[in-house]
Amino acid sequence: MADDVTPGVRVLLVDDDALVRAGLRMILSSADDLEIVGEAGDGAEAVTAVQAHRPDVVLMDIRMPGVDGLAATASVTALPHPPKVVVLTTFALDDYVFRALEAGAAGFLLKDTPPRDLIAAVRVVAAGDAMLSPSVTRTLIGHVAGAGESGRRAAAQARLAPLTDREREVLVAVGRGLSNAEIGRELYLSEATVKTHVSRLLLKLVCTNRVQVAILAHDAGLLEG
């Protein structure tokens, strides 16, 4: 196995269409560092499968009969030591996707994502790096920032009070949609140091992923100008 890939990323596939699951399994199994540890046909099965197989990443169809991907994402991300959830969708940035990201999903992928990009995305999210481009992050923030503007800023600023100056710099960079490598270059930090700062941000701010951190940075008024 090559030294430059993340070894042993455990992946769970969740989709009500067995053909879709078979296609995803075939694509991801072609990568030596990715292991398909289980499959589920609906949201209820997904939660049970996560508890049984302890995956690092869950690829979750957003629209399924019974317990859909939105409810399943909320349940999975509420578990102790939850995996990263990436929602699968046919439509880019529809309301279901926004709600799933707010519920704790680490990002989203279109079902027609090319195989190489799909494999790369699983590796990226398993490593805890950015899953959304800056443009997508801006669109998401614009979507969720409309309601309840007054009061959101004060609440967000209060949550940011315990942060150090360096953590605030990293927070703003995450809010702009930068990857760990890009943040490192901008702030003259090693990528490992950036990952440590991001982990501390998630812990201090009680956020499940970088998207929620970006929304909080926006609410606090740190991304203006």
pLDDT computed for residue 28 by the predictor: 96
Q: Is 93 helix (H, G, I), strand (E, B) or coil?
A: coil
Residue 145 has pLDDT above 80, yes or no: no
- Angle 24-134-31 (CA atoms, 0-180°, nearest 5)? 25
Instruction: Enter the pTM of the model.
Output: 0.73
pLDDT of residue 179: 85
Q: What is the pLDDT of residue 137?
A: 67
pLDDT score at 119: 92
Query: CA nearest 12: which of 2, 21, 3, 1?
Result: 21
| Confidence bin at 152 (pLDDT 50/70/90) | confident
DSSP 96-110: HHHHHHHHT--EEEE
pLDDT of residue 2: 42
Residue 188: pLDDT over 70 = yes
Instruction: Kindly report, residue by residue over 62-84, the tens digit of the pLDDT.
Output: 888 888 888 999 999 999 999 99
134-150 average pLDDT score? 62
Per-residue confidence (pLDDT) for residue 53, from 0 to 100? 96
Q: Residue 146: pLDDT above 80?
A: no
Q: How many CA atoms lie within 13 A of 139 on its CB side?
A: 12
Identify the pLDDT of residue 93: 60
- State the average pLDDT for the chain: 85
Q: At what angle do helices 165-175 and 180-187 cross, to 10 degrees?
A: 130
Residue 34 pLDDT greater than 80, yes or no: yes
Q: Are 220 and 173 in contact (CB under 8 A)?
A: no
Mean pLDDT, rounded, for 42-48 = 93
Q: 66-73 contacts: CB < 8 A, separation 24 or more?
A: 66/42, 67/42, 67/43, 68/43, 69/14, 69/43, 69/96, 69/100, 70/96, 70/99, 70/100, 70/103, 71/43, 72/14, 72/42, 72/43, 72/44, 72/46, 72/47, 73/100, 73/103, 73/104, 73/105
How far is residue 174's CA from residue 102's CA, in Å, rounded to a whole number? 16
Task: Note the pLDDT of residue 5.
Answer: 41
